[in-house]
Amino acid sequence: MKHIWLLAAVIMLFSCTYEESKYRVYYHGNGSTGGDVPKDSKYYSSGETATLLDRGNLVKNDYTFLGWRYYDTMYYVGDKITIRYDDINVYAAWDDGYDSPFSFTVDNGEVTITRYNEQNTSTITIPETLQSKPVTAIDNNVFSNLSISAVSLPKNLKNIGIGAFANNRITQLIIPDSVESIGLGAFRNNSLKKVTFGTGIDTIAPYSFANNLLTDITIPANILTVEAGAFNDNTLDMVIIGAGVDIKNDTSMGLYGDSFLSYYSPAKLAGIYIYIGSDTWERH
């Protein structure tokens, strides 16, 4: 009996004194020259996630704030970071050449991104400016083969290079109105289910969206030409298209492209074209 009472006392003492460890997320300016670092007042348990805060009024001269770095990983505002068994310290990343995930060149006051320096980022937000100048171009193959699942393109972007985002896992894409050209195979071999075209582009380049998961596509009136292989290896069964679009060949419009051409090309009428099987389309 004595041992039982002793064991019960130990259990009660342990339960009274044990308290689950709590952790904090601390933000650091990393060379900031003005403003205040954001403060997260919440205490987290191991296994919880914290949503990374915006920079608020934090600045570093005229440099652009890009996100938060935790060891070798770049996180963006709104990303979630998992708490383990210690406090988290994140550091502001600036486009000052020291800690930027983007390498770039500046020509005539406009920025071309030439390299992406991260390896483990599944979501990428391309900044609107770097060193206070608009990002207008992405060079060839910059973001290819990185296992990216989501990308946000900047509103001033004009040109997307050859194979720029090829061989990733991107599922949705919004192309800004500012984009004027998309290079050959720029988004080939992804997992795209939805693409929204902006108003600035007039040609869909060869194989730019080949080998994706698209089943329907809207080709707006500003697009005049769909080049060979543009949607090759997509099972397009609904196409919303304007009048007079120059479709180069059957590989332009996916697996049913041959039969689509036979329905669309003679008169090139605008409409909603739906594939109903047996090489047959209906226009609505």
Residue pLDDT, tens place only, 187-236: 999 999 999 999 999 999 999 999 999 999 999 999 999 999 999 999 99
Q: How many residues does the chain have?
A: 284
Q: What is the mean pLDDT of residues 64-85?
A: 90
d(CA 100, CA 117): 8
Question: What's the confidence (pLDDT) of residue 231?
Answer: 98
Mean pLDDT of all residues in the chain? 92
Question: What's the confidence (pLDDT) of residue 98?
Answer: 80
Question: What's the confidence (pLDDT) of residue 119?
Answer: 75
Above 90 in pLDDT, residue 44? yes
Q: What angle do CA 128, 62, 116 make, to 5 degrees?
A: 45
What residues contact residue 40 under an 8 Å CB cut-off, 6+ apart?
Answer: 24, 25, 26, 27, 50, 53
Give exposure, 233-266, as e/b (b: 16+ Cβ within 10 Å).
bbebbebebbeebebbebbbbbbbbebbbebbee
Question: What's the confidence (pLDDT) of residue 97?
Answer: 78
Question: What's the confidence (pLDDT) of residue 19?
Answer: 53
Above 60 in pLDDT, residue 5? no
Question: What's the confidence (pLDDT) of residue 20?
Answer: 67
Q: Give the three-class secondary structure for 266.
A: coil
Q: How would residue 4 be classed by pLDDT, with cut points 50, 70 and 90?
A: low
d(CA 210, CA 233): 6
Q: What is the mean pLDDT of residues 147-154?
A: 96
Question: What's the confidence (pLDDT) of residue 118?
Answer: 84
Question: What's the confidence (pLDDT) of residue 96?
Answer: 87
Q: How would residue 10 be classed by pLDDT, with cut points 50, 70 and 90?
A: very low
Q: Are strands 271-277 and 102-107 parallel, antiparallel or unpaired?
A: unpaired
**CB 9: neighbour CB atoms within 10 A?**
10
pLDDT (tens digit, 9 = 90+) per residue, 15-30?
444 456 899 999 999 9
Q: What are the boundaries of each domain within the chain?
A: 21-99
> CATH fold of 21-99, please?
Immunoglobulin-like (2.60.40)
What token pair was written down for 217? 């596509």
Q: What percent of the chain has pLDDT over 90?
A: 84
Question: What's the confidence (pLDDT) of residue 16?
Answer: 44
Residue 92, phi then psi, degrees to nearest 5 = -60, 135
